[in-house]
Amino acid sequence: MSNVQKAEGKLGVLVVGLGAVSSTFMTGVLMARKGLTKPVGSMTQYDKMRVGKGADKKYLKYDQIVSMASLDDIVFGAWDVYPDNAYESAIRCEVLKEKDINPVKDELEAIVPMKAAFDHNYAKRLNGENVKTCKDRWDMTEQLRQDIRDFKAKTGVNRVVVLWAASTEVYVPINEKVHYTLADLEAAMKANDCENIAPSMCYAYAALTEGAPFIMGAPNTTVDIPAMWELAEKTKMPIAGKDFKTGQTLVKSGFAPIIGTRCLGLNGWFSTNILGNRDGLVLDEPANFRTKEVSKLSTLESILVAENQPDLYGQNCGGCGNDHDGYYHKVRINYYPPRNDDKEGWDNIDIFGWMGYPMQIKINFLCRDSILAAPLCLDLVLLSDLSARAGRYGTQRFLSFFLKSPMHDYTKNEVPVNHLFQQYVMLKNAIREMGGYEADEPID
């Protein structure tokens, strides 16, 4: 028997960043609930999973297993450094055709972004003027908390989820003196420690203290620190992150298991991307790319592990002089404006087989970044809301399926699960449990 509180009333979705991803997400939800399009790519809307065994076995959609918010329940709000409303943003970003935006023009125009909590040093390629004036990081957090309260009062929503869909910030290394305890984090905010406290941390702190789950859709350090885990435990709120798993990493997390399962060797995996939207512009800054690089590089190393199979992935597999002392793994992102939101990812994979003979695999993925990210936004929002109603709080590891660099407790040497099919088992088991069924699939 499920003990999940029913999804009654409206669900507020406050999105940080009203750019290509979020305007595409909002337009798709608004169009789908009018029956004018289909939410293709959304697990919560399409996927079916088995519950029960033997004669009791049946395959059900998620909302047949647990109480979930429907698309009709969602009320959108946003923050952004630019003042464009959601309609203007959707038109400007050119992800969607105007004919696919206009049927919900009025609803999109009503989504006007609140002033963003912003520090130009964290995204130097952005120059918007719709930003808050803040005395310090603590004041920044307090203003965001007030925004959430005002949004609740204005819209009458019953619950809120906060989703980061803004650009990647400059890389913030984890500092044990600031990021390991909640008391130290709060002290740093009050001391206006701008080096260790990114604006995204203020959003996360505000969301959790206002009773809203927080989702990190970029590779920012934000909630991937013990202080935020402590806050999530204190407030009994779910957190999830980090970085939407859309194009190349989705391919990598799904294809690497083929190499590992087939016991083939790996000499090297070279990945490069071209991207021309605002995210690509921000990532053209080396300090911002460093944040993305860390999340992209982490995927492969936990799937094809040298210690487990030294002959296949260990010393000398990738030649001498590389960081891993095994296969060589390199990731590149190049800003290329003509492509706009149409991202192209190239993967060159050098493998070896019987008697060490070399082979190659080439993957060319021409994808649409926001088209792949929009259903992830929907699923993460609905499943985070579900987690909160189920009394689940802290890091939601079962949401790793949707994320590029899954959160994990590195202070205890926990290894993240990046294997796509193992992540899918985690997702199904969590929903089974919340639905009152047995979590009956092991992760081998």
Q: Sorting pLDDT into bands at 50, 70 and 90, what band is 340?
A: confident
CA neighbor of 73 nearest in space, from 153, 7, 4, 18: 7
Residue 288 has pLDDT above 70, yes or no: no
Residues 430, 432: Cα–Cα separation, whole Å:
5
Residue 339 has pLDDT above 90, yes or no: no
At 289 the pLDDT is: 55
Residue 276 has pLDDT above 80, yes or no: no
Query: Which fold, 11-244+371-434?
Result: Rossmann fold (3.40.50)
CA neighbor of 373 nearest in space, from 272, 256, 273, 243: 243
pLDDT tens for residues 26-44? Answer: 999 999 999 999 999 999 9
pLDDT tens for residues 415-431? Answer: 899 999 999 999 999 99
Residues 66, 214: Cα–Cα separation, whole Å:
21
**C-beta of residue 417 within 8 angstroms of C-beta of residue 423:** yes
- Tell me the HSE value of 53 on the side-chain side, using a 13 A CA sphere: 4
Question: Rounded mean pLDDT of the chain?
Answer: 93
Residues 57, 303: Cα–Cα separation, whole Å:
31
Residue 325 has pLDDT above 70, yes or no: no
CA neighbor of 264 nearest in space, from 256, 272, 274: 256
CA neighbor of 129 nearest in space, from 138, 121, 120: 120
Given strand 74-80, what is the order of strands in its sheet? 114-115, 74-80, 11-16, 159-164, 214-216, 238-241, 394-395
What's the CATH number of domain 248-369, 3.30.360.10, 3.40.50.720, 3.40.190.10, 1.10.10.10?
3.30.360.10
Residues 388, 394: Cα–Cα separation, whole Å:
10
Residues 316, 326: Cα–Cα separation, whole Å:
5
Residues 346, 270: Cα–Cα separation, whole Å:
8
Instruction: Domain ranges for the chain, please list them.
Output: 11-244+371-434, 248-369
Least confident piece of the model among 112-116, 175-179, 203-207, 246-250 = 246-250
What stretches of 252-398 adopt beta strand conformation (E)?
Answer: 265-275, 328-335, 342-352, 358-368, 394-395
Question: Would you say the CATH fold of 248-369 matches that of 11-244+371-434?
Answer: no
pLDDT tens for residues 399-412? Answer: 999 999 999 999 99
At 116 the pLDDT is: 98
User: What mean pLDDT is predicted for residues 17-32?
Assistant: 97
**C-beta of residue 299 within 8 angstroms of C-beta of residue 252:** yes
